[in-house]
Chains A and B, each alone.
Chain A
């Protein structure tokens, strides 16, 4: 293709062609002109002080104009610096166009203030919708459009709650860009596991590390090594362990901590030997993590040792007709206990012996208590009285064990009925709920709200599966309506309202629509509250509709 058609240069060129020439030398083809530096020197000094080239200010300016035009017309390309290595291919599909537009809209609006806690408008809060959109798009397995990757990285830089999914969507292109821009260096420090897993999906499950992975593990940056380890561990836990074990002694303490933690996924008794060694690590944090991992393996020697210790301090007393649990807290922490991660110094406010006891019970496999306590089920054990006021300590330790060991039967027994008075249970109901199956969790939460209202429901709702089951949805909306009718202001419930925007099913919009009308002002309510409630419900409805559109655009089911 000829130059004239590709660049459509000017159609007339009144001067003779001056060939392109290097910019800085400013040679004079055509009429002889004083060199640029001479002109500049004369102009700086002042033509009135010394006779300028050409003899007058006009001649000086004439020559400078000619030189300027020559220099501009004859500019040469610069020599190219080495280009960055091309970004790795992203195997994920592009998202539908409507979804890409939605992302741009959400990202552009992410700084728009939501109005704060006191007063918000009826329009949806984009800052709330963005994280949901990112999670849904990421889970749907899409890659972000390349032109939006820089904005995604900026968003992830400003808001850590967006990071995981934003970086995952940004994918290999995002990591490539982060290598070029120091402001995005945080991307390289945080390993986005889902991307790594998907990017590695070309490697069959169970496969050993590829040559490239082995090389990256041996020579890569920390974040790259974490990514490789996570990926290999995900498809072949044993290979991941071997990778880790090979160089273990030479890793830095803080790296060891993170590497060890990757074993949490795919943890099995095959890992026990390695983790047992880590109990003797030089770093206290590594030792604590090793103990925690071993406690998750009920068949491990460590768990057996802890069970043994716990049993020695907790027993069953059948004297006097009714069975009860007796506790004899430890009097000392011996060297073997210390080696198993038992900490000597209690946290502030807790007695020394109670602290030691709770650590032993925390880490002892819950399965062992049936034998120890007369063949009773968890519910029966929790129902037993505990002597000498140890019940609270003991039950709290069991709660932690139930969460850590993911023991639903124990969690169910410990959490108690949702109708029980608040702050009665030994453990954190929100944590215990996470151990229960989704449906049971939702059921418990819905009944809890029906009895206790919304003021304590925030954390409970926070652990319920998304989107909320119709049961929770109904319970929350009913509770909001009751709160309105009692004359409170909606911003007393801004936390739950925010959650509802995120978690209600779009179908709940139907149930909400009648509530968007301003109710008649009741005599005892807070003045004007009705209008605020109508606005809050309106926003909720709008948000639910936008969310429904969002998921439709992503072509995913919510």
Chain B
């Protein structure tokens, strides 16, 4: 091939790359980027090219392009498809062809997943469980790899934030929103919601820098823990590793849990409370249960899409007699009900389960936090507490005060006024039994027992 032929080939190649670009600006940027000395780890193999490009962050972005389809993957936060890094990498290969290399693991994983998906053309597999056992495992591995890449990126952003100073965070958080969106794409909703939480804090009320530092630190802890679990490190014991995976968003599917779960408990389960909340266009229903014999608390969590009919409610004070299977974790709480459960029935007594003191509730939460540092709250039953409203005109929070003694739990400020007044009305200034969640932001009451009757707040 003489120089002229090469030039023509390059021209044709550049035209093909230009055709891939989402807009003219991307191509111009890619053209400029392709000539920068910021490239490393570049190579090409059968039907694929890959490489790394130093961007504004300290860690270079990694790019893989599947040549037959033109599909590209890049760790940069850009939402353009393909991004300028992918275009630039293609331009570089057009101008300076390479071939014959085996892709490194990070590129190979993506390529394998990409091609697998292409093979399942038409009915693109959404759920890992729908594939064969082997490919499902492979998919899970690839999903984890993407999450790990996301965690690395988050670490970088956190380091940048703390490096620049938290006070800088009040100015705009658009790039974080992109990060959150990419966490959703990576099927890591746990990380995504934490990122959103972090971005919502700056400038939000009193002591926001403290809350921001705490949330950043816990996000950092989760990133590090997940990367460690992902790397197969033995530093994290298995139950905590499960907690880390579920905190990130890698929960065990119910069907697998029911067939393979080891933490199973048959008991008479008393319904403590049932609550619904809108979460990301879905309705989340939480049901808390207390085992009458074991004293253990369980949380059933289910989601339903808009317009779908809800399952029948489980009223407070009813009993389920069946086996629950707990999700694995360091502070196991979430559980699933197996098939063929007996129908629920009202409990004979309306006295409610045995409870604890305000100090006991904080200890229970504390114990749980030691096991699962990301835990926001823990379900507890408080025995004999009196609701104390704020004095009129003050900014005090509601309290649940121990009947005897001076200790009290502040009520979380997100608890609704109507619920608290209902609680006060039921109590009438006399001690009552209250079920709710005890957390670092305070106690959230859900159910009250008084005089043999149970009232859902």
- A-side residues, CB < 8 A to B, are 1, 3-15, 17-18, 20, 39-40, 43-49, 52, 57-58, 60-62, 64-65, 67-69, 71-87, 146-151, 173, 176-177, 180-182
Contacts and interface: CB of A to CB of B under 8 A. Distances in A.
Nearest to B207: A40
A468 to B, nearest CB: 37
Given A6-B354, A49-B165, A177-B425, A80 B367 contact: no
A82 B393 CA distance: 16
Interface stretch (B66-74, B119-127, B249-257, B400-408): B400-408
A20 B370 CA distance: 12
Contacts of A180: 389, 392, 424
Contacts of B164: 46, 48
Interface in B375-415: 378, 380-381, 383, 386, 388-389, 391-393, 396, 399, 401-402, 405-410
Contacts of B366: 20, 72-75
Nearest to A174: B425
A78 B402 CA distance: 11
A11 B332 contact: yes
A83 B422 contact: no
Contact of B168 (A17, A46, A86): A46
Given A43-B166, A86-B429, A57 B159 contact: yes
A67 B218 CA distance: 10
A53 to B, nearest CB: 12
Nearest to B383: A6
A48 B402 CA distance: 48
A43 B165 contact: yes
B401 to A, nearest CB: 4
B393 A182 contact: yes
B59 to A, nearest CB: 14
Contacts of B330: 10, 12-14
A181 B389 contact: yes
B319 interface: no
Contacts of B396: 81
Contacts of A47: 162-163, 165
Given A83-B388, A83-B429, 8 more contacts: A7-B381, A12-B239, A14-B370, A58-B220, A65-B217, A68-B217, A146-B428, A151-B422
Interface stretch (B18-26, B275-283, B356-364): B356-364
B430 interface: yes
A73 B455 CA distance: 30
29 contacts: A3-B356, A6-B383, A7-B360, A7-B364, A7-B367, A8-B290, A8-B297, A9-B368, A12-B371, A18-B370, A44-B165, A45-B167, A47-B165, A57-B158, A62-B217, A64-B216, A68-B217, A68-B373, A75-B362, A77-B409, A86-B429, A87-B428, A150-B424, A173-B425, A177-B421, A177-B424, A180-B392, A181-B392, A182-B393
Given A10-B367, A57-B163, A78-B407, A40 B381 contact: no
A60 to B, nearest CB: 6
* Nearest 10 A/B pairs, CB to CB: A46-B165, A10-B331, A7-B364, A77-B407, A64-B217, A80-B408, A80-B401, A87-B428, A86-B429, A65-B217
Contacts of A74: 366
A14 B237 contact: yes
Contacts of B429: 83-87, 176
B129 to A, nearest CB: 28
A533 to B, nearest CB: 36
Given A5-B295, A65-B218, A85-B429, A181 B421 contact: yes
B370 A40 contact: no
Contact of B455 (A4, A49, A147, A182): A147
